[in-house]
Each structure stands twice: as structure tokens, then as C-alpha cells.
Amino acid sequence: MLKFSKNGLSRWTKLVVGLWDREYHDSRIILEQQGDLKYLVIPARFQRNLARTLLVTVSVTAVLLVGMSGTAAYLHTRKMMLEDSHKEIYIALQSAGINPDAQNGEYTQEDMLEMARTIRERDMQIRQYLGDWTENLASRNSQLRTLVKNSGLNEKVISIIQGNQKVGGFSENFKPNSLLSSAFAKETAINSELKSVLEALPEKMPLEEYVITSDFGIRKHPIDNKPNLHAGIDLIPLGNKDNVRAVKPGKVTIARYHGHMGNTVIVRHDRGLETLYGHLDKILVKEGQEVAEDAILGTVGNTGQSTGKHLHFEVLIGSYQVDPKKVVQTAQNVRKIEK
Ligand SMILES: [Zn+2]
């Protein structure tokens, strides 16, 4: 390893200056070839250019090595910061009960907003990361250009160095190191993966105009009066707009009568998301049918264990019921921030 003691450094400088300024003379080499003697002349100019090219190559390589290891350390730190940020988002998702592995957690609208904010922040960090990195390379490239310019070498010698040192960043169409760019691509992929989980959430309710008459959570059952979990929300349509519409595209997995829920439709969407529509009057789809977003699934009714005309709506993620109101709000918040 190189030792950068003051003494060592000045000796190194003297050696470099000495080699640079050294005077060269034409050299003659005598070769014996099948009894004949041949003279080979190596001009002084050629020797000097060769020695100087080697010196510049060695110096540039040393500068690059120091610079690149600095960049690597910097990028590593940034990567660790981003990974920490991922963990935070996963924890946020878990506490929001969106991760199927987590318990059916309690969460507030503020948690959801916080989650959306974290994702936005993370996105900004990635943009900053790319910006810093590009700036870093650009300034190093310009330093190196100056270094070569001040070396006093003629165009031809510089072009030889450039020919051999393209990796060092002289070329205008510089391409990032594939290792670094793949790490970057991975970060971006994880980011978009998280975003697509949130984007899988429904952004709307199944009725056009409605009032919510019963929220998600523990409540006294309207019929037997015992406390139980109300695993969805109850909606009453306004202005006779009774059509129940799919909140996202998907496939109908259940379309039949159920003792408690009455006429029931369940639609399976992407990414483990399901929606349930209960107490329908008429069912207008068949099991196995593919439905588009907003497709009419049936009409609001009073079938099954129900005390009046209303729609019971559930959102299930990996078969865990979550609060439809909060999920819809989260999806709307994420969409707002993305715009
Ligand atoms: Zn209900």
C-alpha cells in the first residue's frame, strides 16, 4: 500500500518531476542476425513521449482509484439510508393492516397520510441520489480534463491516453458502471413495487351517491344486540341510484344467496384484493365472469339478515377485512401525491 507520509510524498514528487524533465538521447541497439550486425536507432523524442505517456497513465489511474473508492463509499451510505427507509414503509404497511401477515391492526387516517408521505419522501431521496451521483461524476470528469490539459502533452499523446482510458470518464457519452446502475435499478424497482401495492387499493365506493350508516369495527349487532366485528361498512344510496358497481376490474368468484349476507357478490382483483357486496336485491353477474371497473354487479336490497335496504361493502386483502373507508382514503391520498 502507498504511504502518504510528508517525506514519502515529496520524494515521490521529485521522482515524477525527474522522470518528466529527464533528457533523452537517440539510442542505438546493435543486433546480431545470422552473422550480420544491424543497427537500430530509437529517437530521443520517442523515448520521452513513451515515458511521459506512462507517467500520465499511472497518475490518472491513481487519481481515478482514489476518486472511485470515494464514490463507492458515498453510494454505499446512500443505499443503506434507502434500505432503512424501505423498512419504515414496510412497518407502516404492517401497522396499517395491509400486509396479510400482520394482525388486523387499528389505524387512523393520519397513519395512512403518513405512509403516503413516506413514499413521496423516498421518491425524492432517490431523485436526489441520482442527481448527486451525476454531479459528482461531472465534476470529476472536468478535473481530469484540466489535469490532462495542464500536463503539456501534445494532442497525439493525449489521444493515445484517451484511447486506453475511456473507462475513466473522458468520453462525452459516459455510461454509468453497470454494477452501480443495477443497484440503482433495484432501488427503483422496490420503490415502484411498494407504490403498486398501494395503487392496487380501490379509490372509490361502489355507489354513486350514498350515506354511510354504519362504520367498520366492533359494534352491537342490530339483530341479536351482541357486540361483534362489523367487517365492512353499510351504505344507503341517495337519489334512487341503486346500482352497485365494481370498484376495480376483476373476476366474480361468488354470486349467490348466503344466509346472513343475503344475495352476495365477491369480486377478486389484482394483488390479493377482494371486494364483497352484500344484501343485494338483484344479482346481475355470474360466477366466473370478468368485470370491468364500474360494471353493475347488482342493485341495493334488503336480503339476508338485514333491518332495512342498504349495501354491506367489504374490502379484503389476503382474506383479511380492512376498513373500506380508510383504504379508499389512502388510495385517494396516494393518487393526489403522485400527481
Ligand atoms: Zn354491514
CATH number of the domain bearing residue 269? 2.70.70.10
At 165 the pLDDT is 41
Report how far ligand 1's centroid is from the alpha carbon of 174 (Å).
Answer: 61
Instruction: Please tell me the least confidently modeled range out of 55-64, 66-75, 146-155, 166-175.
Output: 166-175
Question: Angle at Cα 235 formed by Cα 231 and Cα 239, nearest 5°?
Answer: 170
If one counts the domains in the chain, the total is: 2
Report how far ligand 1's centroid is from the alpha carbon of 112 (Å).
Answer: 23
Instruction: Please tell me the least confidently modeled range out of 52-56, 77-81, 248-252, 307-311.
Output: 77-81
Rounded distance, CA 279 to CA 221, Å?
15
Same domain, 290 and 217: yes
Report how far ligand 1's centroid is from the alpha carbon of 215 (Å).
Answer: 8
Residue 283, SS3? strand
Q: Is 152 exposed, middle or buried (0-12, 13-18, 19+ CB in 10 A)?
A: exposed
Report how far ligand 1's centroid is from the alpha carbon of 216 (Å).
Answer: 8
Banded pLDDT at 243 (limits 50, 70, 90): very high
Report how far ligand 1's centroid is from the alpha carbon of 246 (Å).
Answer: 17
**The domain containing residue 33 runs over which residues?**
24-199
Cβ 82 vs Cβ 122: under 8 Å: yes
Backbone angles phi, psi at 290, to 5 degrees: -85, 135
Same domain, 231 and 298: yes
Report how far ligand 1's centroid is from the alpha carbon of 261 (Å).
Answer: 9
- Find the helix packing angle between 44-95 and 6-21, rounded to 10°: 140
At 262 the pLDDT is 95
Which residues, 6 or more positions from 63, have their beta carbon under 8 angstroms from its beta carbon? 143, 144, 147
Report how far ligand 1's centroid is from the alpha carbon of 199 (Å).
Answer: 25
At 212 the pLDDT is 96
Report how far ligand 1's centroid is from the alpha carbon of 248 (Å).
Answer: 20
Same domain, 149 and 176: yes
Q: Which among 179, 199, 219 is the end of a domain? A: 199
Banded pLDDT at 180 (limits 50, 70, 90): low
All three cell numbers of 135: 454531479
pLDDT above 70 (res 177): no
Q: What DSSP line would sit under 220-268, residue for residue?
A: E-TTT--EEEE-SEEEEESTT--EEE-SS-EEEEEEEEETTTEEEEEEE
Report how far ligand 1's centroid is from the alpha carbon of 233 (Å).
Answer: 5
Overall pTM surpassing 0.75 (yes/no): no
| Cβ atoms within 10 Å of 285's Cβ, excluding its own | 18
Banded pLDDT at 160 (limits 50, 70, 90): very low
Same domain, 74 and 32: yes
Q: Which among 139, 164, 199 is the end of a domain? A: 199
Same domain, 150 and 37: yes
Which residues, 6 or more positions from 64, have their beta carbon under 8 angstroms from its beta carbon? 144, 168, 169
Same domain, 114 and 226: no
**Residue type for position 87:** K
| Position 163 in a domain | yes
Cβ 256 vs Cβ 264: under 8 Å: yes
pLDDT above 90 (res 299): yes
At 100 the pLDDT is 40
- The torsion angle over the Cα atoms of residues 42, 45, 47 and 50, rounded to 10 degrees, is -130
Same domain, 103 and 230: no
Rounded distance, CA 97 to CA 92, Å?
9
Report how far ligand 1's centroid is from the alpha carbon of 288 (Å).
Answer: 25
Banded pLDDT at 15 (limits 50, 70, 90): confident
Report how far ligand 1's centroid is from the alpha carbon of 213 (Å).
Answer: 9
At 37 the pLDDT is 73
Cα–chain center distance at 63? 32
Report how far ligand 1's centroid is from the alpha carbon of 230 (Å).
Answer: 6
